[in-house]
Amino acid sequence: MSKVTDKNNPPSTGGVSRQTFLRVAVGSAGVVYAAGLAYPVYRYVASPVEKAAKESAVTEVTLKDAQKLAPGSALMFKFGSKPSLLIHHDDGTWTALTAVCTHLGCTVRYQEDKKRIHCACHGGVYDPKTGANVSGPPPKPLKRYEVKVTDAAVIVSRSQDRA
Amino acid sequence: MKSLFSSFYAWADERLGLEELVQFAKQKTVPVHSQSFWYYWGGLSLFFFLIQFATGVLLLLYYRPGPDAYDSVRQITYDTNFGWLVRSVHSWAANLMIVAIFVHMFSVFFMKAYRKPREFGWWSGVALLGMAMVFGFSGYLLPMDDLAYFATKVGMEIFSVVPMIGPKLADLVRGGPDVSEYTVHRFFALHVVVLPAVFLPILGFHLWLVQRHGNAVPPSEEAKPEAQRRSESFFPNFMMKDFAMWLVAFNVLSVLAFMFPWDLGPQADPLKPAPLGIHPEWYFMSQFQVLKIFGDLFPGTLGEILGIVVFTAGLLLWFLIPLYDNTQEAGRRARRATYFGLFTLIALIVTTIWAYLVL
Ligand code: HEM
Ligand code: FES
């Protein structure tokens, strides 16, 4: 470009000046260090998130002796990391659903006297058989699981159509 | 890109006066001479403290004091991504920080940088070293493995030599007659709340003084005529070299932490006999040995008390050096101070090695 010579930046034959080369070298070393630092820190901080993701990858939970649950009552269990609800209805049928309110995530409860699922946070109500949101703020139904009852356990699994 | 940055800079400068800072940094100079290497060690101590702060906060994400302490450190080490590394870095940097502070302190001593007007720099610096050692002592117990447990038990003996109130004091510090989960809780509060809260302002004071007075030059330089002394600008020259040293320190730390991951022993169990060779961390070994020597020379409480008295007197002499080695001339008093420094350095090294030999 010009004939002016700069002793810190001599005209080079290869086309890349010494200064550019240095800048790129220092820059890339910086990026390598930053990445080498950020990666372990990120993985360390994210550890519980990864663990929860691994746990929620379960597709089936066996609840030993849950078949003895009296009709008209319910119990809480964990499906992966999610609190869930198993209900034995008066008519002998079973329902299992997530117990995480679709409004703001409070844990819901089965009210045996009123035969309904109730969320205490903002008064949301769900149908205990279908999980449909009946009244209050919840925008969506609770997700249901498949239930299989054997004489030793109740087996709850992610329903096929949702997989 | 460039103009975006410079217009943002202009915007911020107008409000914050950044240019003044840059001008200040450019005018600040650092002396250049054969001993300049030692000027990096204060910065290195600071570097390791910053590492301790960052990794300490990371450990806080998972550490649980109290009866769960051991289990939580076990989980950090074995069940958490890179938890072993974070722990290893925190432990290694703790030791390197104390090495750096010791080197820094002795270089300051031999350069006579504690003389007027830098007395407060010396006093705050010794305080920072003391606090770093308490940081180390309190942190060492937190994992509650058997080494931590017994080393703390032994370390607490130091209180028993305080006349009259010693045993009571030790009970209060431990939260009982024995090291227990109460001790862990107390040490935890000390380690992550009290010490940082006290350490940080004193560190700020120390750094502010360094800015105010600049680097001291050793007497040999001071004797030279002004024209023969050289210096360089702090910004960007010295700062770049400072960062280069930090980079070296970072690499050394990484290699150590990776190649020699910090160990976690079996869980502390008061019912099990102490494993062989229980001893405090290396930076307490000298005191440990001095107490032992006096204990052997003068059996009974006399030896213990003499040991403590000698040690405290030495520390006091060390701390008060700016008050009695205060003239700028290189007189006999000044030479005596240098001999005192050499004696202290050699005594620390010899007693430390001795302590390890007789373990
Ligand atoms: C403000 C900053 C700091 C915080 C928040 C902090 C926090 C912690 C925590 C939570 C632990 C327990 C986890 C474990 O034992 O692995 C710990 C341990 C420890 N800390 Fe710190 N710390 C800080 C500064 C320091 C400093 C300045 C030193 C030493 C000079 C130090 C030395 C230690 C040591 C030796 C351990 C035991 C490590 C082990 O064996 O696992 N810490 N620290
Ligand atoms: S969170 Fe359940 S109703 Fe709002």
Q: How far is CA B60 from the centre of its chain?
A: 21
Q: Which 56-75 residues of chain B touch chain A by CB within 8 A?
A: 58, 61-62
Chain B environment of A50 (Cβ under 8 Å): 81
DSSP β-bridge partners for residue A60: A157
Q: How confident is the model at residue A1 (pLDDT cuts 50, 70, 90)?
A: very low
Is A53 within 8 Å of chain B by CB?
no
pLDDT at A160: 61
Mutate which of A97, A122, A125 for ligand 2? The one with the most ligand atoms within 8 Å of its CB, which is A122
Q: What pairs with residue A9 in β-bridges?
A: A6
Q: How far is the CA of A72 from the centre of ligand 2 (A)?
A: 24
Give the whole-angstrom CA distance, residue A106 versus residue A127: 17
Most confident range (mean pLDDT) of B151-155, B206-210, B277-281 is B206-210
Q: What residue ranges define each of the domains in chain B, with the CATH number in brackets?
A: 36-271 (1.20.810.10), 279-359 (1.10.287)
List chain A residues with CB under 8 Å of B58.
41, 44-45
- Distance from C-alpha of B86 to C-alpha of B89, rounded to nearest angstrom: 5
CA distance A131 to A136: 14
Cβ of A93 under 8 Å from any chain B Cβ? Answer: no
- In tens, the pLDDT along B303-340 reads 878 888 888 899 999 999 999 988 777 667 788 899 99
Burial A53-83 (b: 16+ CB within 10 A, else e): eeeeeeeebebeebeebeeeebeebebeebe
Residues paired with residue A75 on neighbouring β-strands, in sequence order: A86
- Rounded to the nearest angstrom, the gap between the alpha carbon of residue B180 and the centroid of all alpha carbons in its chain is 26
Q: If you average pLDDT over every residue of chain A, what do you get? A: 89
Does ligand 2 lie within 6 Å of residue A29's CB atom? no
Q: State yes or no: pLDDT of A3 exceeds 80.
A: no
A125 lines ligand 2 (CB under 6 A): no
Question: How high is the pLDDT of residue B154?
Answer: 87
Measured in angstroms, the CA of A40 and the nearest CA of chain B are apart by 6
Q: How far is C-alpha B247 from the geometric centre of its chain's CA atoms?
A: 20
Structure tokens at A41: 């820190």
pLDDT value at residue B134: 97
Would you say residue A7 has pLDDT above 80?
A: no
User: Among residues B283, B257, B134, which one has the least CA distance to residue B196?
Assistant: B134
- For the ranges A14-18, A93-97, B230-234, B316-320, the lowest mean pLDDT is seen at A14-18
CA–centroid distance, residue B100 to ligand 1 (Å):
17
Ligand 2 center–CA A100 separation, angstroms:
9
Residue A6 DSSP symbol? B
**Nearest listed ligand to the Cα of residue B138:** 1
Report how far residue B232's alpha carbon sits from residue B248's, in angstroms, rounded to the nearest whole number. Answer: 21
pLDDT of residue B249: 98
Exposure string (b/e) for B194-231, b if CB count within 10 Å is 16 or more?
A: ebbeebeeebebbeebbeeeebbbbbebbeeeeeeeeb
What pLDDT score does A2 carry?
A: 44
Q: Which of A95-99, B3-7, B243-247 has the lowest mean pLDDT?
A: B3-7
By the CB < 8 Å criterion, does A55 face chain B? no
How many Å apart are CA B250 and CA B248, to the nearest integer?
A: 5
Q: Measured between beta carbons, which residues in chain A are less than 8 angstroms from residue B250?
A: 33
Q: Provide the pLDDT for residue B122.
A: 98
In three-state secondary structure terms, A103 is coil
pLDDT given for residue B192 in this prediction? 98
Res A104: pLDDT: 94
* Total count of residues recorded for chain B: 359
B83 and A47 within 8 Å at the Cβ level: the answer is yes
Q: What is the pLDDT of residue B34?
A: 87
Secondary structure of B139-172 as H, E, C letters: HHHCCCEHHHHHHHHHHCHHHHCCCCCHHHHHHH
Q: Which residues of A touch B80 (CB under 8 A)?
A: 44, 47
| CATH architecture of the domain with residue range A59-162 | 3-layer Sandwich (2.102)
Average pLDDT across chain B, whole number: 92
Range in A53-67, B86-100, B182-196 with the lowest mean pLDDT: A53-67
Could you tell me the residue ranges of all domains in chain A?
18-45, 59-162
| All residues at 6 or more sequence positions from B287 whose CB lies less than 8 Å from its CB, including other chains | B158, B311
Residue B51 CB contacts under 8 Å (≥ 6 apart), including other chains: B89, B90, B93, B97, B253
Cα-Cα-Cα-Cα torsion B187, B191, B193, B198, nearest 10 degrees, comes to 120
Mean pLDDT of B44-54: 98
Which residues of chain B are within 8 Å of residue A54 when distances are taken between CB atoms? Answer: none
Edge-to-edge strand ranges of the sheet holding A116-118:
A109-111, A116-118, A125-126, A133-135
Ligand 2 atom 1 nearest Cα: A104
Q: Does the Cβ of B196 fall within 6 Å of ligand 1?
A: yes
Region of poorest pLDDT, from B129-133, B223-227, B279-283: B223-227
Cβ B268 under 6 angstroms from ligand 1: no
Q: Is the pLDDT of residue A163 over 60?
A: no
CA distance A83 to A52: 13
Contact A40 B61 (CB under 8 A): no
The pLDDT confidence band at residue A162, using thresholds 50, 70 and 90, is very low
B23-50 mean pLDDT = 92
**What does the pLDDT read at residue A8?**
54
Q: Do the Cβ atoms of B81 and A41 come within 8 Å?
A: no
Residue B141 · residue B212 · CB < 8 Å: no
